[in-house]
Amino acid sequence: MDIINEIRRRHRVQKQSISAIARDMGISRPTVRKHLKTLEEPKYQRTTSPSPKLGHFAEPLTEWLTLDGNLPRARRRTARRLFEGLQAIGYDGTYDSVQRLLSAGSRVTSVPS
């Protein structure tokens, strides 16, 4: 990242203090210290996608997907329609959770979301 390289350059080459770097760049001193200590740039990786609310609703959803898999593409339910069907049977989670499950399932079953 450019910010990390800039912080390191200012501290090591220009010999600026941590406070001066923080003031000039508009970031906090602990952030400057953190970036001076890191060896590699930080990368965010989600290990598992949480879906606790979708847990027991995954079974009817997979049943609907197998039924829709036999239909022509034009008659299959969209992700939005599947989400609305889950809401009708009591699901109070988010649409995003349903989409994540469908995209993970579509790679295996090739059923579009």
Q: With pLDDT > 70 as the criterion, what percentage of the chain qualifies?
A: 88
- What are the phi and psi torsion angles at 65 (to 5°)? -65, -40
Average pLDDT for the chain: 84
- Residue spans per domain, the chain: 2-37, 55-109
What would the pLDDT profile of 57-95 be if each residue is shown by its tens digit?
A: 888 888 898 898 889 989 999 889 999 999 999 998 889
User: Tell me, what amino acid is at 68?
Assistant: D
Contact at 8 Å (CB) between 7 and 32? yes
At residue 24, does pLDDT exceed 90?
yes
